[in-house]
Amino acid sequence: MNRPFRYLVLALCLPFAACVTPGQAGNDSVHRGRIVAQQWCSGCHQVSRDQQLPALAMGRPAWSRAPSFMEIAEYPNIDRSYLRGLASEFYFPMPTFRLKDADQEDVISYILSLKGQI
């Protein structure tokens, strides 16, 4: 294939790729966030509607339990910036493990996708 033809094909295909990629990337981030949350957060938080109440929450009064991700998504003025700050600072009594930045962003995307599901 000659070089000018390659550039023409690339120029014609890029706009279509740009139209499809953002939505798919967002869905992938939400999916990855759910997986990370199930692995790292579900011991204390209910991370999805189909998850049973975490063992640590059983028998404890509501005020002493970690909020579900669905509850967190409904907090007033909740946004990516707020969740990013919450996840990156020491927040007692949350454990101090650190997620990779990409994993943290995926979990935040997942939490924000739960708005309206309470």
49-82 per-position pLDDT tens digit: 898 877 666 777 777 788 999 999 999 989 999 9
Query: Would you state the pLDDT for residue 103?
Result: 95
First to last CA, the chain: 55
Instruction: Show me where the domains of the chain are located.
Output: 23-113
85-117 tens-digit pLDDT: 887 776 666 776 678 999 999 999 999 999 987
Q: Which two tokens stand for residue 105?
A: 């962003």
Residues 25-49: what's their mean pLDDT?
91
Residue 42 has pLDDT above 70, yes or no: yes
CATH 1.10.3470 for domain 23-113, yes or no, is no
84-116: burial string, b at 16+ Cβ within 10 Å, e else: eeebeeeeeeeeeeebeeebbbbbbbbbbbbee
